[in-house]
A and B are shown apart, each in its own frame.
Chain A
Amino acid sequence: MFFIDKLRELNANQNKINQIADEQLECLAQSMKNSPSQRVPIEIINTLNTLLSWPSEVLFPVLDVTRLIVLQKEVNEQLCTSHLFQIIKKHLKPDAMASNQMLTYRLLANMFCHEKGETLGLDSKDEILQTLLDLSSLGNKNNQVKLTFVKIL
């Protein structure tokens, strides 16, 4: 799985506080293959929360994994909290990296598929709608997004 391999590569460059044990990354990779109703270990949530605290410049694969895994009911129930919303707000600011903004909106869209995420989406709608109005023309962000995307590839 491409993005898990990318996470391994980026993980090696993190400081000790933000580093994830390889077994945890492997567990995350396995969880992504689960059916939506399957139980997930609590460690997955801890792993995701650590990954989501990585620097913005390397967050692209983390956000991509998160927006996919949040489609699983149990992950959705445990991850969609006020803590996640603080992370979402950070990456929707007008000066946030455009690639992270794009994936954060994808995460927000996927959150609605289960009740907990839907509740968080509804509770946060005023702030999110305002960030959309504050979003400058998508065309201005393109170069930044392109460079980040190509770098990740």
Chain B
Amino acid sequence: MLKYYRNAYFVEKLIDCIFQVAISTYILNLIIALNKKNDTSNGTKVLNVIFAALPRFNESEAIFRILVGLGTLLSASYSTENRNQLIDAVRQSETAVSVLRTLSETTTQPNSQNKLADCSKEIIDLIL
């Protein structure tokens, strides 16, 4: 019985992880496609989804893909005005800033890569 519950727990966790990665991959691929077309005028709509997803996701690969998408959206915007608007929107989102700060302060084993922390720090440098 215990083995059943342990297996059921792992299946549930696996599916939740897959769902989060699926959503984050879609967001990232959408942002890349928007940048290819020089169309970041819809950046605010994408940002709203990122702000909703970031505090709810706990799968590290999913969070990483969202962060890469966020960084891409902020740094690759084709117009300075548009870029500044997006950066302002992130600065004003207490949730997003809080999540970024928490991730950037995550410490790991020495000499091991912590891509979440590195990515968060880069985004914080962009917005502050």
Contacts and interface: CB of A to CB of B under 8 A. Distances in A.
9 contacts: A118-B33, A122-B30, A122-B39, A126-B45, A129-B46, A133-B48, A133-B49, A141-B19, A142-B12
Interface in A122-153: 122, 125-126, 128-129, 132-133, 137-139, 141-143, 145-146, 149-150
B-side interface size class: 20 to 34
Nearest to B32: A112
Interface of B: 8, 11-12, 15-16, 18-20, 22-23, 25-27, 29-30, 32-34, 36-37, 39, 42, 45-46, 48-49, 52-53, 56
Given A102-B19, A133-B49, A137-B56, A146 B12 contact: yes
A25 interface: no
Interface size on A, as a range, is: 20 to 34
The binding surface of chain B is classed by DSSP as helix
Contacts of B46: 125, 129
Contacts of A141: 19
Given A112-B32, A112-B33, A125-B30, A133 B52 contact: yes
Given A102-B19, A106-B22, A112-B30, A132 B11 contact: no
